[in-house]
Amino acid sequence: MTEAPVAFRNFIGGQWVEPSTGEYIENRNPANVSDLIGLFPRSGPDDVDAAVRSAARGFEQWRRTPAPRRGDVLRRVGDLLAERKEELARAMTREMGKVTQEARGDVQEAIDTAYYAGTEGRRLFGRTVPSELPRKWAMTSRRPIGVCGVITPFNFPIAIPSWKLFPALLCGNAVVFKPAEDVPHSATLLVEILVEAGVPPEAVQLVHGTGEEVGAAIVEHPGIAAVSFTGSTETGSRIGEACGRLHKRLSLEMGGKNAQIVMPDADIDLALDGVLWGAFGTAGQRCTATSRLLLHDSIHDEFVTALAGRIGQLRLGDGMDPDTDVGPLINQAAVDKVVRYVEMARSEGDEILCGGRRAYSGHLAGGFFFEPTLVTGVRPGSPLALEEIFGPVLSVMRFDTLDEAIRINNEVAYGLSSSIYTRDIDAAFHAIEALDNGITYVNAPTIGAEAHLPFGGVKMTGNGHREGGWEVFDFYTETRVSYVDFSGRLQRAQIDTYAAAPY
């Protein structure tokens, strides 16, 4: 007899509850679709409303907890993540597909973020400044915003939620969390840890479901004061329109079309290592993935030949297998998108040097696998030069001068990450100044954010806010200005003159 699949629940009002809709979504292993992980709620607006009302109660409790004590809870979250690291990594690989070594790194990033957020509980600094009037004190402090909506993607099922949830909670906010419907199990495990660590049960709500049904309800709900979203630029634009209309604070982290530039004086072996990891880590499903490789004309042929040989050695397979280098794509729609772009490349006259096919045979037959693909001859202005693919496809382009490479890098609508390999310090700093990106790496790939530094991009990648580092705490707080007048008389700021003030 076939065992019935496990039906998971939302976390609303401090309890694990069934969705009001009574509907569920299957969660399957992308490396083997016959492996059913469980059934997860397909929630609706009523579930969101219940979560927001509960979060409002949780906010009133949590905001009154001193920030250093909130930091203690976040440090406990980090401890629990560390204790359960292997369990979380394996659950993530089964659900999302990335190899377990990468999944461990995903959890480690959340651990780092928890510990960093914990220290900020004693560093939510305000400012004291001189008043223009005598016997008067002027200062600022920070206060939480309220209930924050957190909407996250599939590709970093623990790390990206941690970038949003941990600072939001540290600042004293309550959160309503909607993970991508492809990775609900990782989100469930993370919320369990938050509650076990001591976050008040009503300060964190987990509502599973689709973006159209749950994500939209979060954005539109009048009880949500701020929204943090990571996902596609198209969806982010719609969220931006809604939040602008509703006067909500909004942080957007969206697409990327990241380039690695290789100069003729570069360490070629190092640059090869970098582009392999940057382009094919997480099967190219990263907003910071190296999607374009810009090669100086003098090294182009040598580099491409060596790269094609290295790509041919990458092992495609189930991320649970320690011998696997590249796991599956997340779902059939992701495969179909990559197929479309490879066909575009062929129609444009580009050369597919390796890969370019979905992998069906043998142990790959049951999953969403696509061969790591190298495309050469890509021309500026073409779809493969401009558009985000979010898969294991690398577009190679030639350049003659560094300024030309910078122009090619900057021509895209996105501006997240960039990379340059060179031994020339002048070239490196010229690139840092001129590349139109939020992040630039020198002699390192386009991926590799660190938890204590701001993360984000420009142009259509974001809307000016940053994840991570010290800047994210500004997003999740309001500035309160306080004046204390102990002069014992009415002083009219901006009316009294300095000459008239007694000293």
Residues marked active site are found at 253, 287
Helix (H, G, I), strand (E, B) or coil at 75: helix
Beta strands in 387-436 (DSSP E): 393-399, 414-415, 417-421
Q: CB under 8 Å to 175, separation ≥6 — which residues? A: 55, 147, 148, 149, 150, 164, 165, 168, 169, 203, 204, 205
Helix (H, G, I), strand (E, B) or coil at 381: coil
Ramachandran category for residue 24: left, alpha or beta (phi over 0 → left; psi -120 to 50 → alpha): beta
DSSP states along 82-105: HHTHHHHHHHHHHHH---HHHHHH
Cβ pair 28, 37 in contact under 8 A: yes
Nearest to 239 by CA among 223, 221, 257, 256: 221
The H-assigned helical ranges of 121-246 are 159-170, 184-197, 216-220, 233-246
Alpha-carbon gap, residue 178 to 108, rounded angstroms: 21
Tokens of 494: 């901006």
DSSP states along 248-289: -EEEEE----EEEEE-TTS-HHHHHHHHHHHHHGGGG-STT-
Q: CB under 8 Å to 77, separation ≥6 — which residues? A: 114, 166, 193, 194, 197, 199
**Given the structure tokens 């370019």, which residue do they identify?**
356
Alpha-carbon gap, residue 115 to 124, rounded angstroms: 15
Compute φ and ψ for 418, nearest 5 degrees: -150, 165
**Given the structure tokens 């990379």, which residue do they identify?**
419
Compute φ and ψ for 496, nearest 5 degrees: -60, 145
Tokens of 418: 């960039």
